[in-house]
Amino acid sequence: MGRTADLDSALSFVIGRIAEQAKLSGEPLSDEQRLLLNYLPSSTPQNWDLEIPVLVPRDINLERVCALGKAAYLRDRQTNPTSLDWEFAFAVFTLYRHPMRGLLQWLGMKLRRPRWDGLVLIVTALLPIVAVVLVVFAWNADGSLFRPVGIGSGCVAIMLLMFFASRRIKKQRLEEDIERCRLASRFVGETAH
């Protein structure tokens, strides 16, 4: 599947589940709430420069959509805990940086992290320290200025490489999660027939 097909599939699932939950609650989604679900804001306005918090009027429609989403998610977790539909949607929204990801995060969804992720974080944190130590030793050693500049440039290059590699690994992990969810839903569909 492509980007558009994945996004369409994830959006139709989440919006459909929220609309279904609204019907179960006895009050279907209003046109404003449906429009809000289809066109979520990409970010909330923040005033970081002001010390006094800015009062923002409550958005009753957004609050209701969030509450319905949480109820639908919890209901699905209770009725079918092995379903990976919500995980699929969350991985797709995260991979393509869709605003619906924020709603699913509010529901309590988190990305799975491998066990070795902590070790990678520690190694990454130690790399700048090692780079500084190498530059200091090279600076104090007898010789030309070329050596410390070369070591410093190499360390910066390694840090940049690690940054871009970590972004690529995260993207690859999300794509693997999407494929895992697809395979699980195909397997469930095949065993049901």
Residue 20 gets the label, from left (phi > 0), alpha (psi -120 to 50) or beta, of: alpha
**pLDDT (tens digit per residue) in 84-119:** 889 999 999 999 888 888 888 888 888 777 777 777
> Residue 178 above 50 pLDDT?
yes
> Residue 132 above 50 pLDDT?
yes
Structure-model confidence comparison of residues 71 and 145, the more confident one: 71
Q: Closest Cα partner for 96 from 18, 9, 162?
A: 9
Lowest-confidence pick of 46-55, 137-146, 156-165, 167-176: 46-55
Other C-beta atoms lying within 10 Å of the C-beta of residue 102? 16
**Range from 74-83, 109-118, 176-185 that averages highest in pLDDT:** 74-83
Other C-beta atoms lying within 10 Å of the C-beta of residue 170? 13
CA torsion angle 135 138 143 144 (round to 10) = -10
